[in-house]
A and B are shown apart, each in its own frame.
Chain A
Amino acid sequence: MNLFFHGAADPMKQFEVQKWFELPPVFGYDISFTNASGFMLLGVVLCIAFFGYAASRGKIVPNRLQSMGEIGYGFVADMIRGTAGEEGLRFFPFVFTLFFFVLFANVIGMSPYAFTTTSHLVVTGMLAMLVISIVIIFGLWKNGLKFFGLFAPSLGDMHILGKIVIYAILIPIEIISFIARPLTLALRLFANMLAGHILLKLFAGFAVTGITAGGIGLLVAPLAFGMGVALNALEFLVAGLQAYVFAILTCVYLNDALHPSH
């Protein structure tokens, strides 16, 4: 009883990683299958099932589910075209995977008792590192040293001294902003999911404690419950929005790799 309440009231409990299957360590690293891995697998399986259905049906006249899959396809394709142009479409499978991986993880996390894989900085950090590695490696491979023109935007006609002064200020700023990209990309998603889920848990916890405590708590409980419901709606919005933001920023960064001159 006490343990149950302790677990239910602790808003951090939902982020705890628990081993489901112990696996032998690889190179001394523990790679056990955890609840985090389980829900990640669930997201991947659902994603494959959903788009696999849309792909395998493949009728000229689609049904609703097929149409939804195709709308997802068109949505990501338009997002890339809008930010990185037609050339950006070479990254279409990557951005598509990224967007729906994050979206499915976020939305699955909205289900009670589910684990939100994207509420862990390791996961979002790895995804951000993946994005930025692709940007740097592809940028260097495609543009060579011109890729570093990213840090020195062209200033047009200007006196050489003026250019030196401006570049002295501008280049460090550009470098810092470039380094900040993976950090902000990872932190934005992580912090949004973490904070949202903590808030949901807190307000739901207030509702329960309010009722069990009685007295003034009975007045607080409905307010907290209403707040929880409203936050739930907001969190669904955030789940979709953060996946979109993650994907579109990836497109913007990939655009820099494709066209390094500002």
Chain B
Amino acid sequence: MTPIILAAEAAKGAEKAAFPPFDPWHFPSQIFWLLLLFGSLYFILSRFILPSIGNTLERRESSIASDLDEAARLNDEALDAQKAVEVSIAKAHGKARDTADKARAKIDKEIATETAKVDAEVDKKLAEAETRIAALRADAMKNVEAIASDAAESVLGKFGSKAGKADVKSAVKSALGEG
């Protein structure tokens, strides 16, 4: 039963239409709808969708580019700042060294002046002391002379010499001066 029906159906099918893609009845409909739908798709894509996507891509590209530029700029700024810091550190170092040098020089000068003052004072005192010693010594020598001439006179008097006072004196003086 079944094979007979199948065969009958197949025969009918073969009679009706050979090959669906080449069945001409639908050609006008296919062409009409293809042109209409393809045209609409082209219109909508080219008019609205593609420019918008292209615009998005462009905006993305430019935003990436500007971000990169911004990053490069900030990097440059950071490098500049680093350089500035380095320079200011170097300057500060120099200034500190200057200050230290100046302070050292000032202190050296002060020490020198103080030393000089003290030295001068000491010298003055030494000189004073020397003059005093010299004066004292001269005084002492004067006394010694007088005592010596007195002693010589009295010794000579005991021996009965009649030597003049002035002679004794000069003799004592010359003896002391030799001594």
A residues with a Cβ closer than 8 A to B are 2-3, 5-6, 10, 12-13, 15-17, 26, 29-34, 36-37, 40-41, 44, 47-48, 51-52, 54-56, 58-60, 62, 69-70, 73-74, 92-94, 96-97, 100-101, 117, 119-123, 126-127, 130, 190, 194
User: A52 and B49: CB pair below 8 A?
Assistant: yes
Residues 1-31 (chain B) with a chain A CB within 8 angstroms: 2, 5-6, 9-10, 13, 17, 19-23, 25-31
Further pairs besides A13-B20, A44-B38, A94-B42: 8, Cβ < 8 Å: A2-B9, A41-B37, A48-B45, A51-B49, A52-B44, A74-B57, A92-B50, A101-B38
User: A97 and B23: CB pair below 8 A?
Assistant: no
User: A29 and B53: CB pair below 8 A?
Assistant: no
Those 6 A-B pairs whose CB atoms lie nearest each other, nearest first: A93-B46, A29-B28, A55-B52, A37-B33, A15-B20, A17-B26
Q: Identify B41's interface contact among A13, A69, A97, A126, CB under 8 A.
A: A97
B34 at the interface (CB under 8 A from A): yes
User: In the complex, which residues of chain B have a beta carbon less than 8 angstroms from the beta carbon of A93?
Assistant: 42, 45-46, 50
A94 to B19, CA, bound (A): 32
**Whole-angstrom distance between the Cβ of A225 and the nearest chain B Cβ:** 23
User: B26 and A190: CB pair below 8 A?
Assistant: no
A48 to B37, CA, bound (A): 11
User: In the complex, which residues of chain B have a beta carbon less than 8 angstroms from the beta carbon of A15?
Assistant: 20-21
User: In the complex, which residues of chain B have a beta carbon less than 8 angstroms from the beta carbon of A101?
Assistant: 38, 41
User: In the complex, which residues of chain A have a beta carbon less than 8 angstroms from the beta carbon of B28?
Assistant: 29-31
A–B Cβ pairs within 8 angstroms, 6 of them: A32-B29, A48-B41, A97-B42, A120-B30, A123-B30, A190-B21
Closest-by-CB residue of B relative to A48 is B44
User: A73 and B30: CB pair below 8 A?
Assistant: no
- Please indicate which of the listed interface residues A3, A12, A69, A100 has the most CB atoms of chain B within 10 Å of its own CB: A12
User: A97 and B29: CB pair below 8 A?
Assistant: no
User: A119 and B21: CB pair below 8 A?
Assistant: yes
Closest-by-CB residue of B relative to A74 is B57
**Whole-angstrom distance between the Cβ of B11 and the nearest chain A Cβ:** 11
- A interface majority secondary structure: helix
B54 at the interface (CB under 8 A from A): yes
A78 to B37, CA, bound (A): 26
User: B29 and A2: CB pair below 8 A?
Assistant: no
User: In the complex, which residues of chain B have a beta carbon less than 8 angstroms from the beta carbon of A59?
Assistant: 56
Q: Identify A12's interface contact among B19, B45, B52, B60, CB under 8 A.
A: B19
Given A6-B10, A40-B33, is A30 in contact with B41 using a C-beta cutoff of 8 Å? no
Given A6-B6, A17-B26, A97-B42, is A55 in contact with B56 using a C-beta cutoff of 8 Å? yes
A40 to B26, CA, bound (A): 14
A44 to B40, CA, bound (A): 8
A246 to B31, CA, bound (A): 19
B48 at the interface (CB under 8 A from A): yes
**Whole-angstrom distance between the Cβ of A117 and the nearest chain B Cβ:** 8
**Whole-angstrom distance between the Cβ of B22 and the nearest chain A Cβ:** 7
User: B50 and A96: CB pair below 8 A?
Assistant: yes
Given A48-B41, A52-B49, is A121 in contact with B10 using a C-beta cutoff of 8 Å? no
Given A73-B50, A121-B22, is A3 in contact with B32 using a C-beta cutoff of 8 Å? no
A55 to B46, CA, bound (A): 12
User: In the complex, which residues of chain B have a beta carbon less than 8 angstroms from the beta carbon of A94?
Assistant: 42, 46
B35 at the interface (CB under 8 A from A): yes
**Whole-angstrom distance between the Cβ of B9 and the nearest chain A Cβ:** 5
Closest-by-CB residue of A relative to B44 is A48
User: In the complex, which residues of chain A have a beta carbon less than 8 angstroms from the beta carbon of B41?
Assistant: 44, 47-48, 97, 101
User: In the complex, which residues of chain A have a beta carbon less than 8 angstroms from the beta carbon of B154?
Assistant: none
B59 at the interface (CB under 8 A from A): yes
User: In the complex, which residues of chain B have a beta carbon less than 8 angstroms from the beta carbon of A2?
Assistant: 2, 5-6, 9
User: In the complex, which residues of chain A have a beta carbon less than 8 angstroms from the beta carbon of B59?
Assistant: 60
User: A51 and B22: CB pair below 8 A?
Assistant: no
A92 to B35, CA, bound (A): 19
